[in-house]
Amino acid sequence: MKEKLVLIGNGMAGIRTLEELFKLEEADKYEITVFGDEPHPNYNRIMLSPVLAGEKTIDDIILNSREWYAENDITLHTGDPVVEIDRVGRQVKSESGKSVAYDRLLIATGSSPFIIPIPGADLDGVIGFRDIKDVDTMLEAASNYKKAVVIGGGLLGLEAANGLMKNGMDVTVVHLMDILMERQLDKPAANLLKASLEQKGMQFLMEAQTASIVGEKRVTGVEFADGSSVEADLVVMAVGIRPNFMLAEQAGIHCERGIVVNDTMQTFDPKIYAVGECVQHRDQCYGLVAPLFEQAKVCANHLAHLGYGRYEGSVTSTKLKVTGIDLFSAGEFNEEEDDEILVMQDPALGVYKKLVIRDNQIKGAVMYGDTMDGTWYFQLLREGTDISAFRSTILFGQHDLGDAGHGDEARVANLSDDAEICGCNGVCKGDIVNAITTKELFTLDDVRIHTKASASCCSCTGLVESILASTVGEGYSAVPSKKPMCSCTEHSHDEVVEAIQKEELKSMRQLFDYLNWKTPDGCASCRPALNYYLLARWPEEYQDDAQSRFINERAHGNIQKDGTYSVVPRMFGGLCTPKDLRAIADVCDKFDVPEMKVTGGQRIDLFGVKKEDLPPMWKDLSDAGFVSGHAYGKAMRTVKTCAGKTWCRFGTQNSTGLGVKLEELTWGSWMPHKFKLAVSGCPRNCAEATIKDFGVVCVDSGYELHIGGNGGIKVRVTDLLCRVETEEEVLECCGAFTQLYREEAHYLERTAPWVERVGLGHIKQCILDDEAGRKALNERFKVGQQYAQIDPWKARADGAHTNEFTPIELAV
C-alpha cells in the first residue's frame, strides 16, 4: 500500500521537490495530494515581471499544466489553502473543509510581501508584488490611472516599476538607501543602473522615508518624513518578504524567522519536511529560486528514503529582468580590509566589472553591461578555484584563456556539470548535456521542453545554444523544431500552410475538419493566423473573416490606452496637397479630434477618436479621396521617402516618385506582420531604407534593393538583395519579395527573423536565380492586390467586405 504524501503549497519549491522525487526509482511509493491557495496550477513566480511588462503571458509562465498533475496521479486542490495541521492525527484540513491524511507532510507555503505598517497602508490601490492577482491589479490600474509609486529600489521593485512604466504609467521609485539594489550592487554599478533606468523614463526619490499613504477610499499620494509628498494612483510595496510560517507555528512546529529545518530539510517533527521561502536553515532564509531548488533536490532524496543528500546552504547570484539591461552579481561584493579588488570600467560602453579577491579566490562579483562571463565567475566562486594562473586576464572573460579555444563554445567547455546555466529554473550544465545526449536533442526548443533551460527570461539562451553546439557538433540546429501553432492543434504553422495549399482548403471549417482541430472554432491565437493564411493563398475565393481579425484591423483605427482610437489616412509617399490638409482639418473639426501628430512614416495621425465616430469619419475621409493607412494592422504600413533629385542637390534618382509607385503597388495588402518600405534618394540614406522590411537606396547607376531590416527594439540592418537599373525592376522585385514573404513566413513573424530563418540564399534563389519564379510570384501578388486594394469604407455601401463593427472578440 502506498504512503500518503501531502504537499501544502503549489509553488515552485514544493512542485520542484515532486519533480525531483519523480526522477528517483522510489518515486512511486507515494499517493500525492497538493493544496494551493491560488486558482492556478504551478507557475514561474519570478517571471511575473515580464508578464507585467507585456513580454510574457500567464500561459507562457505556467510550469506544470493540470494535465501534468493528472499524468502523475497527483490530486490537486487549487484555491483551497490548508488552514490546520493535525500532527497527532496526521491529517490536514483545508479552508473548504477537506480532510486528508498523511504519512509524510511537505510544507512549502512560501512568503508574503512585507507591507510597511504606516497610516494608509490599507487603502485601495496599495498592494505588494507577489502573485498573478497582484499583476492583474497593476494592469487594471494602468488602464485606468496614470501615476504609480513603487516603494523599494531593490530587484523586485525595479522590475515592478519597469512593468508599470511599459504599461504607460508615470512611475516614481522611492528608496530608503542612497543606491539602488544595495544588496546586489556596489555604488558604481548602481549608478550605471540608475542612469539607464532614468533614460527609460523612470523617476527616483532616493534616501526617502515613507511616513504615510494618503487618500480617503483609494490612495491619492504618498507623504515622506521630511514633509514632502508625491501624487499616486497606485502604490506598490516591494520592500521585502516575510516567510509564511504561521500555519506550521500553530501546529507546534518550531519556528523562528521561518520554519526551522536541518540539512535534510526535516522540521522538528520527523514526519514533516519544509522547503522554500518559508524555511530557515542555519539561520538563513532565502528568497531566490536557486537555493529553493537545491533544497528541493535534497528533500526529494530523503522522501525517497535514500538518505544521503545534504543541504549546506547556498551562494546566490542575481540578474535583473528588465529588457535592455544586463546586470549580474554574486557573493560578497563589498570588500573588506584584506580583500583585493579587480575592476574594469568603460563608461562610454556602459560596462563595469568588479571582482573581489581573497587569497586568490573570487569572493564576489558585480557586472553591468557585459554579463556573459557571469556563469563562469559564479562557478569559480562556488568551487573556490585558485585563479593565480589566469589572474592577469580574468577580467577579460573566459574566452581569453589560452587553452579554452574561441567563442561562446569555449566559455561553456570549461564549465563543470554542476555550473548553473538557467537561474530561473535551476538547471545546471550537466542536466542540459544529459538531456541532449540521452534524448537525442538537436534544437533549442527541444532543450527548453525537456529541461526548461532558456524557457523563462531567456537571458541564458546564448549559453544553452553553446552547450548544444559543443555537445552535438554539426548536428546542432539553431532553427526551432516543429512546434504546434497553438494548443488547439498538433500541427505547426508550416504544416497548416502546406495543407491549405495541397488539399485546397478554402474555408476555416474545411481546415478545422481536415486537420482534426481540437477546439471546434479555434481560439484567439490561431484564428487570426488561419484567416491570414487562407486569405493569402486564396484571395479570389476566400471570404475574409472579420471576427478573426484584431479590433484595430476591423475598425481601421488603433485603440489607445484610454479606449479611444487613432486614425491614420494614407498619404502616398508622404506627399499631400493643400486640399488634402484642408480635408483632414475639416474632419478633425467635425469630430472634435483633440490631437494631431505628424508620424515617422510621413503621415498625420488623428488621436482621441471615439469608436462610434469611426464609420462616419472614414466616410468623410473616403469622400475626400483618402484610404486607410493600415497603421493598425498586420499589413503594409508606410513607404518613407526623401526629397530625391527633384529637390535635393545630393539626390541621384526620383525617390519620392518611386516611393509613391511602391506604395500604390503594395497598399492594402495584408501581411504576416507589419511591413514597412523606404526609398532613399542617395547613399546618405535619409529615409533610413536599411532598417526597413524592403528598402531602396538610389545610386547613380540605378537602385540597391535591401531586405529584412528592423528599426524596433532589436535593430537589424538589412541584407543587400541585389542592384537593378530601372524602376520596373524595382517594382517587380518588390512584388516578388513581398509575395514570397506572405506565402512562406509564419503569422506574426517579421521579415527580419524570417530572412534569418530561411536564409538570404534561399530568397535570392527564388527571386534572382529563377526568373520565371520571380514573375510568377509578382503575378500572384498582383492578383491578391486586386482584392485587397478596396477602400473598406466605400465598400460598406456595396456589401463587399466584412469589416462591420461587431463585438470585440480579439483584443489588441
Name which residue leads in pLDDT, 796 or 94. Answer: 94
Whole-number Å distance between alpha carbons of 459 and 334: 25
CB under 8 Å to 535, separation ≥6 — which residues? Answer: 542, 544, 670
Phi/psi at 527 (nearest 5 deg)? -60, -45
Neighbours of 482 (CB within 10 A): 12
Output the pLDDT for position 714.
65
Average pLDDT over residues 12-36: 90
642 is annotated as contributing to ligand binding: yes
DSSP state of 769: I
Backbone angles phi, psi at 716, to 5 degrees: -135, 125
Q: Calculate the average pLDDT of the chain.
A: 87
Q: What is the pLDDT of residue 480?
A: 44
**How far lies 589's CA from each of 357, 425, 554, 561, 606, in Å?**
69, 56, 24, 23, 11
Looking at per-residue confidence, does 451 or 177 come out higher? Answer: 177
691/680 Cα distance (integer angstroms): 12
Q: How far is CA 331 from CA 118, 317, 328, 630, in A?
A: 33, 7, 11, 52
Q: Which residues lie closer than 8 Å to 309 by C-beta, 6 or more apart?
A: 264, 297, 298, 299, 300, 301, 302
**Residue 110 confidence (pLDDT):** 95
Angle between helices 155-166 and 132-144 (to 10 degrees): 40
Lowest mean pLDDT among 7-11, 299-303, 568-572, 797-801: 797-801
- List helix spans (H) across 452-550: 461-472, 493-502, 508-514, 526-537
pLDDT of amino acid 411: 58
Q: What is the DSSP letter of 2?
A: P
The pLDDT value recorded for residue 473 is 57
For the beta sheet containing 604-609, the strands, ordered from the edge strand earlier in sequence to the opposite edge, are 558-559, 565-567, 604-609, 595-598
What is the reported pLDDT for 333?
79
The CATH fold assigned to 633-790 is Sulfite Reductase Hemoprotein; domain 1 (3.30.413)
Residue 678, classed as helix, strand or coil, is strand
Candidates 695, 712, 711; CA nearest to 703 is 695
Selected residue with higher pLDDT from 73 and 373: 73
Counting residues of the chain whose pLDDT is more than 90, the rounded percentage is 54
Contact 466, 495 (CB under 8 A): no
Reading the block at residue 99, the C-alpha cell is: 480532510
Strands (E), 378-441: 420-422, 427-428
d(CA 410, CA 421): 15
Fold of 3-111+243-303: FAD/NAD(P)-binding domain (3.50.50)
- Tell me the three state secondary structure of residue 211: strand
Query: Model confidence at 713, in pLDDT bands (50, 70, 90)?
Result: low
713 vs 200: CA distance, rounded Å: 13
Is residue 734 a known part of a binding site? no
Asked if residues 496 and 530 have their Cβ atoms less than 8 Å apart, the reply is yes
Q: Cα-flanking dihedrals φ and ψ of residue 699, to 5°? A: -130, 170
Q: Binning pLDDT at 50, 70 and 90, where does residue 42 land?
A: very high
Q: Does 56 score more than 90 pLDDT?
A: no
Q: Which has the higher per-residue pLDDT, 800 or 167?
A: 167
Q: How far apart are CA 191 and CA 197, in angstroms?
A: 10
Q: What is the pLDDT of residue 496?
A: 93
Rg (CA), the chain: 30
Average pLDDT over residues 147-174: 94
The span from the CA of 149 to the CA of 155, in Å, is 15
Distances (CA, A) of 48 to 156, 174, 512: 10, 21, 34
Which residue matches cell numbers 460598406?
A: 796
To the question of whether residue 457 is assigned a binding role by annotation, the answer is no
Report pLDDT for 39. Answer: 94
117-131 per-position pLDDT tens digit: 999 999 999 999 999
Handedness of CA 620, 624, 625, 631 (dihedral sign): negative
The string of pLDDT tens digits covering residues 471-514 is 765 445 444 445 678 778 888 888 999 999 999 999 999 999 99
Tell me if 278 is assigned to a ligand binding site.
Answer: no
| pLDDT at 99 (0 to 100) | 97
**What phi, psi does 771 have (nearest 5°)?**
-60, -40
**388 DSSP assignment:** G
* CA dihedral for 238, 242, 243, 246, sign (positive or negative): negative
Q: Average of pLDDT values for 359-370?
A: 90
CATH of 126-239, picked from 3.40.50.300, 3.30.360.10, 3.50.50.60, 3.90.220.20, is 3.50.50.60
Residue 588 DSSP SS3:
helix
The top-scoring range by mean pLDDT among 280-284, 444-448, 547-551 is 280-284
Question: Contact, 281 vs 261, CB < 8 A?
Answer: yes
Measure the CA–CA gap between 644 and 307, rounded to whole angstroms: 78
Average pLDDT over residues 323-350: 83
Residue 807's pLDDT is 29
- The percentage of residues in the chain with a pLDDT greater than 70, rounded to a whole number, is 91
Q: Is residue 789 pLDDT above 70, yes or no? A: no
CB 223 within 8 A of CB 123: no
> Residues 95, 100, 103, 108: what is their CA dihedral angle, to the nearest 10 degrees?
-30
Sorted by sequence, the CB contacts under 8 Å of residue 641 that are 6+ apart come out as 573, 574, 602, 655, 656, 658, 659, 660, 678, 679, 681, 687
3-state secondary structure 244-306: CCHHHHHCCCCECCCEEECCCCECCCCCEEECCCCEEECCECCCCHHHHHHHHHHHHHHHCCC
Name the 3-class secondary structure at 757: helix
Q: Tell me the torsion sign for CA atoms 406, 409, 412, 413.
A: negative
CA distance 344 to 190: 15
Do 763 and 770 touch, CB atoms closer than 8 A? no
d(CA 526, CA 538): 18
H or E element that contains 330: strand 327-331
Q: Which residue did the predictor score with more confidence, 288 or 294?
A: 294
CA distance 323 to 278: 30
Least confident of 552-556, 613-617, 651-655: 552-556
Mean pLDDT, to the nearest integer, of 122-149? 94
695 pLDDT higher than 80? yes
pLDDT bucket at 732, cuts 50 / 70 / 90: very high
